[in-house]
């Protein structure tokens, strides 16, 4: 969110970057994950940096395609 604040009123470079690059990049990750599915029984292990977690979780949950489990689900049990 700090990155989105970079720039000026007339040239909000940070907001442009977040909207045009970061969101797009995470959507490509999501698309690639969907393309890995070959059956309803598939399990896919995904390891990305923590900065991607929020958007990837959002995309995966809202798709209603995935039964998402995070490392946190396993570590705390």
State the average pLDDT over residues 30-35: 96
State the average pLDDT over residues 63-77: 87
State the average pLDDT over residues 3-17: 90
CA distance 58 to 52: 10
In three-state secondary structure terms, 75 is helix
In the predicted model, is pLDDT for residue 1 greater than 90?
A: no
Residue 77's pLDDT band (cuts 50, 70, 90): low
Q: pLDDT averaged over the chain?
A: 90
């Amino acid at each position: 969110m700090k990155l989105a604040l970079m720039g000026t009123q007339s040239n909000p470079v940070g907001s442009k970057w977040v909207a045009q690059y970061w969101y797009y990049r995470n959507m490509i990750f999501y698309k690639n994950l969907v393309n890995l599915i070959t059956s309803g029984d598939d399990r896919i292990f995904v390891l990305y940096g923590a900065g991607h977690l929020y958007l990837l979780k959002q995309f995966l949950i809202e798709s209603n395609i995935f039964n998402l489990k995070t490392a946190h689900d396993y570590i705390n049990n």
